[in-house]
Structure 1
Amino acid sequence: MRLTQEQDELRAAVKSLLARHEGTDAWRPLTEQIGVASLAVPEKYEGAGCGAVDVHVVMEELGRVLSPVPLLGSAVLAAQLLLATGDDDACARLLPGIADGSAVVGVAWAEDGSWDPAATRATAAPSTAGNRRIDGSKRHVLGGTEADTLLVTARTGVGVSLFEVAPGDPGAHGETMVAMDRTRPLGRWRFEGAEGRLVGTDGGGARALEHALDLARTALAAEQVGAAQACLDLTVAYTKERVQFGRSIGSFQAVKHRLADAYVLVEAARSAALGAAFAAEGAEPAGFGRYASVAQAAASEALSTVAGDMIQLHGGIGITWEHDAHRYFKRAHSSAQLFGTPDWHRRRIARSLDLGRPQEEARP
């Protein structure tokens, strides 16, 4: 699992650009100068035709600075969902805008705290225009209400399907959620007879979304690793500067142990996240979901732990608004819920390995 020279250069370019542009101001130069939104989009749809490892490199750097740009929600989740549907017309219509950063596409599927596509309760009924009327509510839509297009899951007579909905439709009502993590905008959408255009096959939405979610989980794990590394770097630097009893607190054995444990967590999470990215590009995608869950569980727990340690080892300054520690702590806990908790991912891994059954059933 070695990065190529081009990937190292991509990392350096993204890191340099983020040092010059902060917040949402970084989106345009990231897309126009480096083309980050086009990385996972095939060349036939005006993308760069790269893969999950290149996305990993960019997401790790975005995580270091808690960038709020819409790469995860639009250029990863939405783009991969469109590709997974196999709908060439929808891909040709929407992917070029995603790739050049001129359009942001949001995915609305989570309902009532459930991330499971199969738990969809929104409905799609036939309309006179040949489309469908979408009714239902969606939460935790990445990008908030700023999307130019929405991809919405709704249940038809044959199962969960995917529909393209215009945010300006009279039946679509969006509002920005008041989230703990202000660096990741989330939206709440209510649909009351909104016109939806079928994307992919009727009843094929859940399967396509599950694959896209695994790719998004892999990208999110990379972002979490970058944030965890930033927490560790800030903490190490502070323990060298903070003097207590005539010596830097980083020289105390107890502090050394905490930092060493944090380093192990970060490196283990980085290996898991990078392993999932390489697995996504592998020739045998059957077990990719397991790799994605391993990466998500490891990265979520690493970031939550290291962000908590950062606050404790910074002492009083670590709980002030002026210090960035609270921003990383909030991102840690919001990201750990975004595509499933670590416990959910461990249960998923156990099911995929046929573990956790009663002992008598597990006997040959």
Structure 2
Amino acid sequence: MNFEHTEDRRMLADSLNRFIAEQYAFEARDKIAKSAQGFSTGIWQQFAELGVIGALFREEHGGFGGAGFDLAVVFEALGRGLVVEPMLGAVMAGEAIALAGSETQKEQLAGIIGGSTIAAFAHDEPGTHYEIAHVQTRAQRDNGGWLLNGAKAVVPHGEHADLLVVSARTSGADDDEAGISLFLVPARTPGVLVRGCPAIDGGRVAEVVLDGAALPAEALLGAEGQGYATLERAVGRGVLALCAESLGAMEAAKTATLEYLRTRKQFGQLIGSFQALQHRMADLLLEVEQARSAVINAAAAIDGEDRLARERALSAAKCSIGRIGTLVAEESIQLHGGIGMTWELPLAHYAKRLVMIDHQLGDEDHHLQRFAALGRKLAATA
């Protein structure tokens, strides 16, 4: 299999990396991340104009990419720049709409790709422990429409979203795969209460409370009670995006650490000449390359029809990324010494983002257990 990027992907990566380097320096990023909005509308529009958002969607849905390697290229560049704009929500919500939406619902994709619509994916709930099928939010029929009640936690950019893709249970027990439905919910729907707060690694997240939110019948996304497969595919693309973002952040932390070892002197010598530090850095470089291999494997598998192979590759990547990202964060800070802990140095922010990515859409332990469980299913079908 040829893992070299196509010419179009190389051009996209070059233009995106150049734009981030020129327009998204750390000082500008830090100001954006700490702002009341948590992202820059102007930067978001520029991403749309550059075709970055469109690269995340397939041609039949108005984009010009949408393959696993397109996601990997874009999010690796975003990770290098610690970009906080709502790209992950666009990927996950957009995938759900693209897979399950009616022709009318798919018209929303044009606004997402064009940057005029901010979409958020509201699925995680308190106490679910990353289990995709664990949904306590309830939807019941009401006067020909739907009535939603429940709560969603830590929704990235949920506070300023125009459109929410919300999972809710229409039948079954709280942890059944069957009985989950998806809904398109305009953020200003009466009964939708959104409380935002700053995220620990920059930007903003929100708690979304659905208190008798009334929706028309056409708000249902896909078939009633059959949303699990769509949910799994949308979350899978989010997992790949996070893994690629983490890889970009690792590369930035690695480069900064190498530069520090080459310039910092101790006892009259460059600290990079100390053998013990050379060994630690060499181990770190090998780990980052292993993370890259995991991302490549997941990107190659995500568009496959074999569900077990696809989901195992995604869980393997997320498990590896969680472990290696934490290792890179810890080692980079230790190799920098005390200065690595200061807020003025970008490295501390990369380290924080690497650790937090591990906790999004399932941490290392969760995906290790999921990988093993999927492996048992695969063996049973052999």
- Mark yes or no: TM-score above 0.5: yes
- What letter matches 2:57 in structure 1? V
Task: Give the secondary structure class of the aligned counterpart of 1:154.
Answer: strand
Question: Which residue of structure 2 aligns with residue 51 of structure 1?
Answer: 67
1:227 aligned onto 2:229: no
For residues 173-232 of structure 1, what are the alpha-carbon distances to aligned partners after superposition, in whole Å with 9 as ceiling and x for unaligned? 10113432124x221111111123211110112221111111111111000000011110
Secondary structure at 2:121's aligned position in 1? strand
Worse-matched range after superposition: 302-311 or 281-290: 281-290
The 10-residue stretch of structure 1 (22-31 or 237-246) with the greater mean CA deviation from structure 2: 22-31
**Are 2:325 and 1:303 aligned?**
yes
The root-mean-square deviation of aligned C-alpha atoms, in Å, is: 2.0
The residue type paired with residue 195 of structure 1 is A
| Residue 139 (structure 1) aligned with residue 139 (structure 2) | no
What is the aligned partner in structure 2 of residue 177 from structure 1?
A: 197
1:248-267 paired onto structure 2 within 5 Å: 248-267=270-289
Task: Tell me the equivalent position of 2:47.
Answer: 30
User: Which secondary structure state, in structure 2, belongs to the residue aligned with residue 177 of structure 1?
Assistant: strand
Instruction: Give how far 1:328 is off.
Output: 1.3
Structure-to-structure mapping, 1:268-307, within 5 angstroms = 268-282=290-304, 284-307=306-329
Change (3 A) 1:198 1:282: closer
1:218 to 2:240 alignment: yes
- Give 1:325's aligned amino acid: L
Structure 2 counterpart of 1:194: 213
Q: 1:325 aligns with which of 347, 363, 366?
A: 347
Secondary structure (helix, strand or coil) at the match of 1:162 reads: strand
How many angstroms apart in 2 are the aligned matches of 1:248 and 1:241? 6
1:283, distance to aligned residue in structure 2 (A):
5.7
Post-superposition offset of 1:10: 1.2
Q: Distance in 2 between matches of 1:143 and 1:274?
A: 28
Counterpart AA for 2:211: E
Distance 2:343 2:308 in 1: 45
> How far did 1:286 drift?
4.5
1:109 equivalent to 2:128? Answer no
| Aligned equivalent of 1:8, options 7, 10, 29 | 10
5+ long unaligned stretches in structure 2: 30-39, 173-178
Aligned residues: 354
What's 1:95 paired with?
Answer: 109
Q: Deviations over 1:64-120 (max 9, x none)?
A: 11100111111x1111112232533322x2111111121111111111142323211
Structure 1, unaligned stretches of length 5 or more?
A: none
**Is the Cα contact below 8 Å between 2:61 and 2:98 reproduced in 1?**
no
- Residue in structure 2 matched with residue 153 of structure 1 by the alignment: 167
Give me the whole-angstrom Cα distance separating, in 2, the residues matched to 1:181 and 1:204. Answer: 35
- CA displacement, residues 116-174 of structure 1 (integer Å, 9 cap, x when unaligned): 2321111112222x221111110011223111101111111361111111111220110
TM value normalised by structure 2: 0.88
Distance 1:177 1:262 in 2: 34
Aligned to 2:32: none
Using structure 1 for the length normalisation, give the TM-score.
0.92
